[in-house]
Homo-oligomer: A and B are copies of this chain.
C-alpha cells in the first residue's frame, strides 16, 4: 500500500492505534481567511464596535466545533481538549482567523484547530451571506504544531 497511515495492509481505512504513544502536551494553530467585499468588511467592523457582533458569534461556533472534531472526521481520535482560543480580526481584505488548540494526549490537535478555524469561517459566511454571496474562505492551513514524536512544525 501507499504510505498513508490510515489504511491497513489490505487498503482498508482504520483508526490507527495510538495506545503505545505517550500522552504529552500538544498544541496546534490553524489559520484561515474569509475574503469579502470591502462594504461587507466595513459592516462587520461596525457591528463589532457597537452592535451585531459577527465575530463574537463565530468565535463561539469555532470553540464548540473543536470539541466535536472526532465526530466529524471519520478516523480522528477523541481527545481531552484542555484549551481552545479562536481569534478573528477584520483586517485587510477580509476576516483573518487564528485558532489554537491544546491537549495532553496521545495524538496531535491539528484537526481540532483546523475544524475550529473552518467552522468559525463558515459562521462568518452564514451571518454575512444575505449582503455578500461572493465571499470565499481561503488559505485554511496549519501554521504551527508542537509536541509529540514529530516535533515542532511552523509555516506561514
Contact = CB atoms under 8 A, between A and B. Distances in A.
Contacts of A81: 15, 77-78
Contacts of A123: 73-74
A61 B78 contact: no
Nearest to A121: B140
Given A52-B1, A73-B123, A139-B138, A129 B102 contact: no
Q: How many copies does the complex hold?
A: 6
Contact of A115 (B6, B122, B133): B122
A130 to B, nearest CB: 5
Interface string A45-69: 0110011111011011101111110
Interface of A: 1-8, 10-19, 25, 32, 43, 46-47, 50-54, 56-57, 59-61, 63-68, 70-87, 102-106, 110-111, 114-115, 118-119, 121-123, 125-131, 133-142, 145, 153, 155
